[in-house]
Homo-oligomer: A and B are copies of this chain.
Amino acid sequence: MKALVLEKIKQLSIRDFDIRETLGEYDVRIAIHTVGICGSDIHYYERGAIGQFVVREPMILGHEASGTIIELGKSVRNFRVGDRVCMEPGIPNPESRATRLGIYNLDPDVRFWATPPIHGCLRETVVHPAAFTFKLPDSVSFGEGAIVEPLAIGMHAAKKAEIRPGDVAVVTGAGTIGMVTTMAMLAGGCSKVIVSDVQDEKLAIVAKMGPVVPVNVLRENLKDAIARETDGWGADIALDASGNEKAIAGLVDLICPGGHIVLIGMPVGPVPMDIVAIQAKEARLDSIFRYAHVYPRALALMGSGKIDVKPLITDVFKFKDSIKAYEYAVHPKPTSVKVQIEMA
């Protein structure tokens, strides 16, 4: 079938790729419609590796996908051919201890699309477990369906944040993950979210998502802004979506006594943390690794109109232009958020 293949570093080709997948008893076969480009895709394209995961063979890219079911495994009951769906890109081993405990995202044997040596989904069809496939509400387009994957990260962070209704949150970083985290925190019960970044273009986008207070930290002190917005008490929850070491180390200064920190962004090295400052507030820190059990939650909020991801879809390319899409995604305009490729 046709696929977008990363042949080696910085070399993509659109070509026929011989991949045959057997449909298991609990699987579905899906015709791919839309695939978003993620930072990790760009990373493999530009550098050929992320940590221990090295691209040694030609690999199909893409893991943010939606499509239409075209075939059902014989024990699949909750889908029909023609259903519009999106898919979780990571498939855990059902026999692992982590999976049995319900934390399947922590299973070390998880097979994740476009993480070598597993192929991605920028191709005509995929076979996928029905259990990790989710129906799109009628009001949700294929493009929005392909955004559920990055949104799931924000949703998982919002779930870990254990929001109490009316909490005030701060999100450091207004990139794609900062945006989906802001959306999830607002939909998840926060009264308002203070968002910091250094790019006004990103802050302008996130400011339209609801009761958001944008703070450009090049011009304004974030701690002061939070003090002003919380009568000096501090934010209930601080989430880092930047991966910036200084931002992470500074989270403790942003929260109230007994406040909560959630670590989403992945810094490149160890971060010097002020443990005594953390203790003085009895802060709780939670961290996330991908997500688990949140696709249905994201889709429910999108279907009922509480989350609207349409403003995130800024650039759409046809599959025949998918190499151009990747080239664009490497150096996008500051007003770009998500670049997507349509297969159909």
Identify the A interface with B (CB < 8 A): 26, 75, 78, 94-95, 97-98, 100-106, 131, 155, 158-160, 162-168, 184, 186-189, 191-192, 210-211, 231, 233, 248-249, 257-258, 263, 266-267, 270-276, 278-289, 293-294, 296-298, 300-301, 303-306
CA distance A216 to B272 in the complex (A): 27
Whether the pair A187, B163 counts as a contact (CB closer than 8 A) is no
Given A160-B282, A278-B285, A285-B285, 10 new contacts (CB under 8 A): A100-B293, A101-B102, A101-B258, A105-B282, A106-B257, A165-B294, A165-B297, A266-B275, A273-B273, A275-B287
Contacting residues, chain B, for A211 (C-beta < 8 A): 304-306
Contacting residues, chain B, for A166 (C-beta < 8 A): 155, 187-188, 294, 296-298, 300-301
- Say how far A91's CB is from chain B's closest CB, in angstroms: 12
- Say how far A114's CB is from chain B's closest CB, in angstroms: 19
CA distance A263 to B211 in the complex (A): 31
What 4 pairs across the A-B complex have the smallest Cβ distances?
Answer: A102-B102, A166-B297, A165-B188, A191-B300
CA distance A11 to B140 in the complex (A): 58
Known: A78-B231, A102-B102, A273-B270. A263 touches B279 (CB 8 A): yes
Whether the pair A165, B189 counts as a contact (CB closer than 8 A) is yes
Q: Interface centre among A168, A280, A289, by most B CB within 10 Å?
A: A289
A304 CB contact (under 8 Å) in B191, B287, B296: B191
Whether the pair A282, B106 counts as a contact (CB closer than 8 A) is yes
Closest B residue, CB atoms, query A211: B304
- Say how far A204's CB is from chain B's closest CB, in angstroms: 19
Whether the pair A100, B95 counts as a contact (CB closer than 8 A) is no
CA distance A294 to B100 in the complex (A): 12
- 26 A–B contacts, CB within 8 A, in A order: A26-B95, A78-B231, A95-B131, A98-B258, A103-B257, A103-B258, A103-B282, A105-B282, A106-B282, A155-B165, A158-B165, A159-B164, A163-B189, A165-B184, A165-B188, A165-B189, A166-B188, A187-B189, A211-B304, A211-B305, A249-B270, A263-B279, A266-B275, A267-B275, A271-B272, A282-B286
Known: A101-B258, A106-B258, A163-B189. A279 touches B272 (CB 8 A): no
CA distance A102 to B294 in the complex (A): 14
Closest B residue, CB atoms, query A129: B95
Contacting residues, chain B, for A186 (C-beta < 8 A): 306
Known: A192-B300, A298-B166. A279 touches B289 (CB 8 A): yes
A280 CB contact (under 8 Å) in B231, B272, B289: B289
Whether the pair A276, B266 counts as a contact (CB closer than 8 A) is yes
